Structure 1
Amino acid sequence: MSQPVPGAASVPPLNVDLSDTDGALFIGSTLAAVLFGLTNVQAFVYFQNHRGSGITLFKLVIYYLWILDAIHLAFVTHMTYHYLINDCANPLAPLVIVWSFQAQIVVDVLIVYVIHLLYVQRLWILSRGRSRILPSIMTVIVVLASGAAITLIWAVYQCHLFTELFGFEWSIYLALGVMSVVDMLIAASMCYLLSTARTGFSRTDSFLTKLMTYILHTGLLTRWASPHAYLFSQRIS
């Protein structure tokens, strides 16, 4: 039976609400681990279905995405351990930006940018034998959109305290907004190219409709799980 600690009754309770800081960090890191598990499953299924195709560009890209996703989870885990374990007793620790927070932003940008380039490459494939104006425009848009991501990385590395991010919050909204717009434009472009490729045969047109549905779903998924969305789209290609 545990013995009471002398003087414990005189210690006032600490009414500290950590749900918006440490709680959010814990939930986010848990979701990141779950999504990495989905990446493992989807990568395994893809490689099982393409065992005899040799080394292809898509396989190398999937290796690349899997490695980046693993690095991203490692940074998130380090950040979580730093704030919840190492500096849990330091009341000023949540104000200081740890290096792994900045590093995982860089990894996120690399993942999203590669996903956009891969979807643009699919636009070029879908437009084969037709006008190349649409994929050309989307290529320029994706390249220009990288400027917003670079601006975000620059802004994050200018800050040493989370309170300093308020001065650069415009860069966060700019990067997220631009990436979301690019996702929607790519999905709309793919749907347009597929809709104009209808043949009049019900079976073929039905398949194109299902493919457009998958494209819309994976286009939305890239906002929260870019590697998982691309691997999912590979399974239906």
Structure 2
Amino acid sequence: MSGTLVVEAVSVSTTFGAAFIGLVAGAVLFGVTLLQTYEYYKRYPQDSFHMKLMVAVLTALDTLHLVLCTKTIYWYLITNYNRPDNLDNTTWSMALQTDCNGIIGLIVECFFARRVWLMSKNWPLVVIIVVLATLHFGLGVVFTAESFILGHFSKFQRLTWVTCTGLGAAAVSDILIALSMCYYLQKKRTGIERTDDLVTTLMLYSINTGLLTSIIATTAVILFAVMPTNFLWLCFFWIMGKCYVNSVLASLNSRDRLRQKVYSSGVNITPSPGGRIVTDSSHNFRDGPILLRRVSNPAPKLAVAVETTTEYKTDYPDSSQTASVNSPSTPKLGNEDSKVPWVAL
């Protein structure tokens, strides 16, 4: 009898105990999501409608996912309290929560794939990223359908290839996004310490964007492959979608901070022809392409200013337009470099 109790206790701790921990961690991250969403709409009221809609959809999906996870835990631990025969059954909320994470992953990875495209114009790379993201979402739908068909957690080992392939595709996509953004940012180094510091900051943002989600997805893959009948993998899977949402929101909310770094590096932001840009004391901007212009500090007795321009693109509707201004054909003085790194802020 004691041996049976020990086995049962271990089973509960590695199944619904692990799922409960994942729910608590997910609820904490959901609080961060709400805070970042509030900050986004407060600080960037002039963002495009499509950008605002994407943030709203991601927040709504994150909310729905938390509701489904809470419903799942409540059904197993409260509704079926002291009914061990039902603990192996798959409930509808347990099956559907997979699709919420799948849609979130698809939207987020396509968002960052767009940034990779703006930086590189490398369409084969972008296609690979999008295909991997779609594979992640598609196999999530397969997992949901098979969960209803199988009906029991004890049969989930039959879905090992589905889960491992889907989460593996998500991990590879995240790694490709981070590495490609770092690679193309590295090529934009100018040799000037201040502008290179900006590039380094952007590279760190890129690494942090893809590294965390890829680690979580890889951990979930390994745990499901080794122990498909317990919920240790589910603990990581439940927080993965929230990490996706927060990575996008953190990227959007960091734009002012990065622009201030641009200002401190001696790069001025001015409207491009046809662009609709309004600046205020907090450096908020309206829609439109933006020019980065470096102006050398003229010597006290010289009346010569050197102006050069570089292309700058943003996450706004007119970002596909190219901003161009004719640089004056004046001689270059001192060691002032005319290149400014391309960044997608």
Output the TM-score relative to the length of structure 1: 0.86
* Letter paired with 1:228: N
Partner of 2:193: 202
Of 26, 48, 51 in structure 2, the residue corresponding to residue 32 of structure 1 is 26
Contact 1:72–1:108 (Cα < 8 Å) also in 2: yes
Contact 2:69–2:94 (Cα < 8 Å) also in 1: yes
Point out the more displaced range, 146-155 or 86-95: 146-155
Deviation at 1:196, TM superposition (A): 0.6
Evaluate the alpha carbon distance shift between residue 60 and residue 222 of structure 1 in structure 2; reply closer, same or farther with a 3 A threshold. farther
Output the TM-score relative to the length of structure 2: 0.60
Point out the more displaced range, 71-80 or 143-152: 143-152
Deviation at 1:222, TM superposition (A): 3.3
Over 3 Å off, 4+ runs: 13-16
Mapped partners of 1:181, 1:219: distance in 2: 10
Mapped partners of 1:122, 1:54: distance in 2: 16
Mapped partners of 1:153, 1:82: distance in 2: 22
Deviation at 1:37, TM superposition (A): 0.3
Aligned residues: 218
Deviation at 1:209, TM superposition (A): 0.3
Superposition pairs of residues 89-100 of structure 1, within 5 angstroms: 89-100=82-93
Of 10, 15, 35 in structure 2, the residue corresponding to residue 21 of structure 1 is 15
Deviations, residues 201-222 of structure 1 (Å, cap 9, x unaligned): 2111101101100110111233
Partner of 1:71: 64
Deviation at 1:54, TM superposition (A): 5.2
Partner of 2:145: 157
Partner of 1:42: 36
Deviations, residues 49-79 of structure 1 (Å, cap 9, x unaligned): 113x154322111111100000000000100
Contact 1:112–1:222 (Cα < 8 Å) also in 2: no
Deviation at 1:194, TM superposition (A): 0.7
* Letter paired with 1:105: T
Q: Does 1:182 align with 2:173?
A: yes
Q: Does 1:212 align with 2:212?
A: no
Q: Does 1:107 align with 2:100?
A: yes
Mapped partners of 1:152, 1:82: distance in 2: 22
Over alpha carbons, which structure has the higher Rg?
A: 2
* Letter paired with 2:104: I
Q: Does 1:56 align with 2:39?
A: no
Mapped partners of 1:55, 1:152: distance in 2: 30
- Compute the RMSD of aligned alpha carbons: 1.7
Which structure shows the bigger proportion of residues in helix conformation?
Answer: 1
* Letter paired with 2:187: T
Partner of 2:299: none
Partner of 1:236: 254
Q: Does 1:170 align with 2:161?
A: yes
Mapped partners of 2:111, 2:185: distance in 1: 17
Deviations, residues 16-37 of structure 1 (Å, cap 9, x unaligned): 4121122112111111111110
Mapped partners of 2:136, 2:33: distance in 1: 26
* Letter paired with 2:96: A
* Unaligned stretches of 5+ residues in structure 1: 1-12
**Is the partner of 1:57 in helix, strand or coil?**
helix
* Letter paired with 2:246: H
Contact 1:148–1:171 (Cα < 8 Å) also in 2: no
Deviations, residues 122-177 of structure 1 (Å, cap 9, x unaligned): 112223xxxx22xx123321332223431242133222111221111111111111
Mapped partners of 2:47, 2:157: distance in 1: 49
Contact 1:46–1:231 (Cα < 8 Å) also in 2: yes
